[in-house]
């Protein structure tokens, strides 16, 4: 099957994806699918979405040649896709700008979302503020501690933050709680999922709204590099920034697609968040995908220095791209990510989010092995301001 | 072959009463106590027991049952324990139907075929996989049919009439009507709406209909029992278990109270 048709009508990417939810939500998801199919080709919607991306988000984001970093690494030319320059500081806003229009089209009055690093929470609270809709953000207590800056931003934007202390108190538990809210308030509430994860049609919707990233890179590569890049690199938690970058390139088999998962304390320790590298097939949050789980089918605790990658599952389309061999999935551990964070900051004056730093860490490794006439585009999915408390505390510095 | 669940419902109908279906989490607070609770529930009038299979991410559960899952998992409870528990229960009780209620990922850890082998050998009667709508259940449907294990399915207040018809056609044992838009233990049940919806549902199925999710006490049970064949009560029991103290005494009293209402 051509990627153009993915997912199929049952929301499947190969064996992955689908709609594994309690019955109460099935009709709501069917309605969402129907409405999305109508709206996605509607001229008025497309114009409003494109205008919002241009005037509210600030698109297109630049494709920037990292000259000093390229010279330092001494191999492939490195280009940074500057999603960190978007309004609210990450790629997450592309998706929320689109989904809030869908929510309004469906007549929903109340917006809910889950967040890990807080970027999706901020992006959701921002668009909810702009459209004057009530907004509730679910966030794990553990993440509330390590991302306090974003928690305060969300509150300033007028949204309510609900702490989640069940399970591991991180992103997956926030998603469980958001689902529980949705099932309870399904009539008037729209759930803006922040990654290419969850039950169908979310993986498709979130991919489509982020695909603007890859489409811009397609064009920008021709004018700036003069040809297609040889490799695209992006970090993968749930996988929305990677999917947005990869999707328009899937049929371009000359371009290697590399997703970089969170290696945590190291793949061999088992303490990581890299299901595509070291997980197995399972069902969580309404989707079939690769999962971090034990033999009894219990989802296990993940470890990552980056809250946004600290998730035991991954978008089903990534699972499929891995199985068919179209994309490759690597891992960078906490230490490598922190080194990369510092290097990009010092050499290019660009401070990446700790999530992004995992992609940067892989580029650091692979670029020197590539020829000087080859090129890499890495998605700088977010900026690192939100992470300075985390980095400072690792270094033993009190701010 | 006729199922135990079917027999139980037809006996209850003949007695002109409603079935009391009780839910507890397997291994909460430990396997031996769960076994004791099961026996005492039957003694005080429970007709069918739903055993929750503990899962790390029980998305459809309210706080009460979430805590039950967590307590069971803290003690290392698993699907294997649950099968052992049913075998142990069957040493002295061959008649009370047992249904496993849980989430896809734990059930799939064994695979559908192996699951059903265990189910048959431990004389399990039915399964209810919360996050397995009909569209996603071909493996378990097939295996369950072969093993003569009932697949109980959920119908929600949001389910359309045409969809309800389709779900009922793939359901056996009983149909589980979710009485609220919400999670287990929710407090917002609208009895009038439930009665209307269940009345509507009768057009699509001959199967017994059990009502659950929002039934928290004798009063809420009696408000909808006239349209039901059975009532499912869970959160209340799981709360009592969580409180500790003399669990058996408290669970017995609550079971008795509810079963008397359903006479």
- Dihedral of CA A356/A359/A364/A365: which sign? positive
Residue B202 tokens read as 């009768």
The minimum CA-CA distance between B44 and chain A, rounded to whole Å, is 31
H or E element in which residue A287 lies: strand A286-291
The tens digit of pLDDT for each residue in A192-210 reads 999 999 999 999 999 999 9
Picking from A200, A212, A195, the residue whose alpha carbon sits closest to that of residue A13 is: A200
Interface-testing mutation among B64, B158, B177, with chain A (most A C-beta atoms within 10 A):
B158
In chain A, the percentage of residues whose pLDDT exceeds 70 is 99
Which of A77, A83, A114, A304 is labelled catalytic?
A114
Residue A174 tokens read as 């926030």
We report the CATH number of the domain holding residue B129 as: 3.20.20.70
Number of domains in chain B: 1
- β-pair type (A77-81, A63-65): antiparallel
Peptide bond into A339 cis (omega under 30): no
In a domain, B237, yes or no: yes
CB B41 within 8 A of CB B19: no
The tens digit of pLDDT for each residue in B143-155 reads 999 999 999 999 9
Whether A92 is a known active-site residue: answer yes
Bridge partners, residue A79, by sequence: A65, A377
In a domain, B179, yes or no: no
- Residue B87: Cβ-neighbour burial (10 angstroms; 0-12, 13-18, 19+): middle
Residues 6+ apart with CB under 8 A from A219: none
Whether A306 is a known active-site residue: answer no
Q: Is the pLDDT of residue A1 over 50?
A: no
Determine phi and psi for A381, rounding to 5 degrees: -65, -25
Determine phi and psi for A278, rounding to 5 degrees: -150, 35
Q: What is the pLDDT of residue A177?
A: 96
Bridge partners, residue A280, by sequence: A291
B103 in contact with chain A, both atoms CB, cutoff 8 A: yes
In a domain, B97, yes or no: yes
B153 in contact with chain A, both atoms CB, cutoff 8 A: yes
How many other C-beta atoms lie within 10 A of the C-beta of residue B238? 27
The tens digit of pLDDT for each residue in B92-142 reads 999 999 999 999 999 999 999 999 999 999 999 999 999 999 999 989 999
Q: Which of B131, B181, B182 sits opposite A283 (nearest CB)?
A: B131
In a domain, B117, yes or no: yes
Q: Is the pLDDT of residue B1 over 70?
A: no
Q: Is the pLDDT of residue A115 over 80?
A: yes
In a domain, B45, yes or no: yes
> Which residues of chain A are within 8 Å of residue B153 when distances are taken between CB atoms?
23
The tens digit of pLDDT for each residue in A263-291 reads 999 999 999 999 999 999 999 999 999 99
In a domain, B62, yes or no: yes
Whether A114 is a known active-site residue: answer yes
The tens digit of pLDDT for each residue in A62-84 reads 999 999 999 999 999 999 999 99
A211 in contact with chain B, both atoms CB, cutoff 8 A: no
B182 in contact with chain A, both atoms CB, cutoff 8 A: yes
Picking from A292, A298, A274, A17, the residue whose alpha carbon sits closest to that of residue B105 is: A298
The minimum CA-CA distance between B13 and chain A, rounded to whole Å, is 27
In a domain, B149, yes or no: yes
A14 in contact with chain B, both atoms CB, cutoff 8 A: no
CB A126 within 8 A of CB A96: yes
Q: What is the pLDDT of residue A4?
A: 56
CB B193 within 8 A of CB B158: no
What mean pLDDT is predicted for residues A97-120? 96
Which B residues, 132 through 151, put their C-beta within 8 Å of a C-beta on chain A?
A: 132-133, 135-136
The tens digit of pLDDT for each residue in A310-367 reads 999 999 999 999 999 999 999 999 999 999 999 999 999 999 999 999 999 999 999 9
Which of A92, A108, A364, A386 is labelled catalytic?
A92
H or E element in which residue B37 lies: helix B31-43
> Minimum mean pLDDT among A220-224, A334-338, A395-399: which range?
A395-399
Size of interface A-B (CB pairs under 8 A): 115
The tens digit of pLDDT for each residue in B156-188 reads 999 999 999 999 999 999 999 999 999 999 888
Half-sphere exposure of A287 (CA within 13 A, CB side): 35
Bigger pLDDT: A89 vs A147 = A89
Domain that holds residue B141: 4-153+230-255
The minimum CA-CA distance between B160 and chain A, rounded to whole Å, is 8
The tens digit of pLDDT for each residue in B224-254 reads 999 999 999 999 999 999 999 999 999 999 9
For A24, the closest chain B residue by CA position comes to B156
Residue A7 tokens read as 């997912």
Q: What is the pTM of this model?
A: 0.96
In a domain, B163, yes or no: no
């Amino acid at each position: 099957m051509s990627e153009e048709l993915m997912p199929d009508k049952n929301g499947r990417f190969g064996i992955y994806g689908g709609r594994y939810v309690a019955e109460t939500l099935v009709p709501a998801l069917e309605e969402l699918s129907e409405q999305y199919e109508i709206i996605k080709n509607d001229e008025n919607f497309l114009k409003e979405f494109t205008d919002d991306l241009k005037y509210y988000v600030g698109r297109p984001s630049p494709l920037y040649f990292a000259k000093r970093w390229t010279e330092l690494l001494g191999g492939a030319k490195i280009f940074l896709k500057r999603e960190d320059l978007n309004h609210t500081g990450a790629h997450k806003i592309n998706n929320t700008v689109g989904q809030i229009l869908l929510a309004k089209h469906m007549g929903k009055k109340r917006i809910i979302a889950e967040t890990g690093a807080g970027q999706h929470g901020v992006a959701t609270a921002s668009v909810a503020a702009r459209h004057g809709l009530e907004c509730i953000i679910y966030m794990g207590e553990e993440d509330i501690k390590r991302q306090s800056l974003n928690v305060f931003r969300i509150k300033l934007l007028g949204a309510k933050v609900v702490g989640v202390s069940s399970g591991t108190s991180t992103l997956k538990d926030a998603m469980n709680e958001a689902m529980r809210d949705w099932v309870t308030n399904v009539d008037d509430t729209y759930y803006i999922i922040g990654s290419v994860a969850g039950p169908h049609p979310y993986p498709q919707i979130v991919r489509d709204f982020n695909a603007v990233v890859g489409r811009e890179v397609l064009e920008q590569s021709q004018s700036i590099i003069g040809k297609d890049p040889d490799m695209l690199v992006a970090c993968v938690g749930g996988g929305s920034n990677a999917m947005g970058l990869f999707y328009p390139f899937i049929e371009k088999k000359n371009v290697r697609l590399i997703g970089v998962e969170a290696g945590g304390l190291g793949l061999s320790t088992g303490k990581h968040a890299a299901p595509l590298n070291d997980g197995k097939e399972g069902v969580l949050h309404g989707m079939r995908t690769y999962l971090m789980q034990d033999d009894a089918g219990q989802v296990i605790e993940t470890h990552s220095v980056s809250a946004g990658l600290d998730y035991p599952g991954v978008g089903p389309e990534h699972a499929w791209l891995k199985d068919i061999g179209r994309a490759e999935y690597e891992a960078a551990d906490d230490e490598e990510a922190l080194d990369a964070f510092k290097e990009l900051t010092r050499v290019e004056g660009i401070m990446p989010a700790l999530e992004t730093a995992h992609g940067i860490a892989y580029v650091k490794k692979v670029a020197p092995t590539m020829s000087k006439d080859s090129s890499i585009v890495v998605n700088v999915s977010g900026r690192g301001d939100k992470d300075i408390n985390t980095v400072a505390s690792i270094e033993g510095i009190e701010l | 072959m006729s199922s135990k669940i079917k027999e139980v419902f037809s006996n209850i109908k003949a007695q002109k009463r409603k079935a009391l279906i009780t839910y507890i989490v397997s291994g909460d607070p430990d396997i031996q106590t769960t076994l004791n609770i099961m026996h005492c529930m039957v003694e005080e009038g429970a007709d069918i027991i739903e055993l929750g299979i503990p899962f790390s991410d029980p998305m459809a559960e309210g706080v009460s049952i979430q805590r039950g899952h967590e307590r069971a998992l803290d003690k290392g409870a698993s699907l294997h324990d649950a099968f052992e528990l049913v075998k142990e229960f069957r040493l002295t009780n061959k008649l009370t139907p047992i249904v496993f209620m849980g989430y896809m990922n734990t059930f799939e850890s064994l695979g559908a075929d192996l699951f059903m082998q265990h189910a048959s050998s431990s004389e399990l009667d039915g399964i209810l996989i919360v996050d397995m709508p009909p569209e996603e259940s071909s493996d378990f449907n097939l295996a369950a049919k072969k093993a003569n294990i009932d697949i109980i399915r959920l119908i929600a207040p949001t389910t359309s009439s045409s969809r309800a018809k389709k779900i009922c056609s793939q359901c056996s044992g009983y149909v589980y009507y979710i009485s609220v838009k919400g999670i287990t233990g929710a407090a917002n049940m609208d009895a009038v709406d439930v009665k209307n919806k269940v009345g509507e549902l009768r057009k699509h199925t001959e199967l017994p209909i059990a009502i659950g999710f929002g039934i928290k006490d004798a009063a809420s049970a009696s408000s909808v029992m006239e349209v039901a064949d059975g009532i499912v009560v869970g959160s209340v029991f799981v709360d009592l278990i969580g409180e500790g103290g003399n669990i058996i005494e408290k669970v017995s009293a609550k079971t008795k109270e509810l079963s008397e209402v359903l006479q």
